[in-house]
Amino acid sequence: MAEDKKKFDLKLTLSTFLKNPSGSNSAYLASRKLIIASLRDAFNKLIKKHKTFVYYTFDTGKELIYHIKIPSEREEAKRVIYYDVIFEIEYDKNSIPTYFDNNSLRVFSNSPSFGFTYGYVVAKNDLLPKWLDKKVSKEMKNKKPTKRNPVESLGFEKSLYFAALFIKEKKLNLYSNAKKNIKLKPNKKLISSGIRSIEDKTKEYHLTKITKKEKDKRDKKDSQMPTKKTTKTKKVKRVTGTKKITKVSKVNGR
């Protein structure tokens, strides 16, 4: 019966997360490849639109922390929402690896989909950074997501996956590159203070959502945009014949 309590082996690393966040016991290989291809396409579109993502790296001497702001894909919004994604990778300071692909990873995102679908799974499997525990509501951490995620797997949460792809694209998984971008002291309390809870971010999501009335009004306005008027050119009658030249009389004998 212990198998029912934990259906997937969620020993998370950056490498395993990119290949299969659900864990080594999950199936559906063909569909997983399609999902990964679709996510990469969506990621490329976001990068093309926003040029890059805002990010920070911190080194505590025990963990390497990535804080990446992922813009929402939502087109119909009053403004762009940015989700705060945290990747916390543990390491041994006496044996620092060149790449951080296979070190233990903890994750967080204040994207509503992360909280409502995967908050319980992340908390249950000790995959949530402890210093961000209060950013996830008690209900999300304690109530099983029976409808959204009945098998209790981690899955391909977009904001997390985009952050992972960004780390790889920027080669920030290489320790020497990550170190170059460290400009601030690793103060977890300070980092946390700049991150809104999932509940607060959910409220922001709804506040920036365009209502049906607003959408209809905008669509109506777009449909009534005046088209360019074509300027009619008046035809000018062509004068035929030779022009009469008036003869000028000579002055002073010239």
Query: What does the pLDDT look like over 151-179, one tens digit per residue?
Result: 888 889 999 999 999 999 999 999 999 98
- Nearest residue to 163 via CA among 12, 48, 34, 46: 46
> What is the structure's pLDDT at 48?
95
> What is the structure's pLDDT at 29?
58
> What is the structure's pLDDT at 185?
79
> What is the structure's pLDDT at 76?
73
Collect all residues with Cβ–Cβ distance below 8 Å to 171 and sequence separation of at least 6: 177
What's the burial of 65, exposed, middle or buried (CB within 10 Å: 0-12/13-18/19+)?
Answer: buried
CA angle 101/103/105 to nearest 5° reads 100
> What is the structure's pLDDT at 198?
97
Let me know: does 76 contact 215? Beta carbons within 8 Å. Answer: yes
> What is the structure's pLDDT at 2?
41
> What is the structure's pLDDT at 250?
46
Let me know: does 130 contact 105? Beta carbons within 8 Å. Answer: no
> What is the structure's pLDDT at 254?
44
Radius of gyration (C-alpha) of the chain in whole angstroms = 30
> What is the structure's pLDDT at 215?
63
- pLDDT beneath 70: ranges in the chain: 1-10, 23-30, 211-216, 218-254
> What is the structure's pLDDT at 251?
42
> What is the structure's pLDDT at 58?
95
To which H or E segment does residue 82 belong?
strand 82-90
> What is the structure's pLDDT at 202?
95
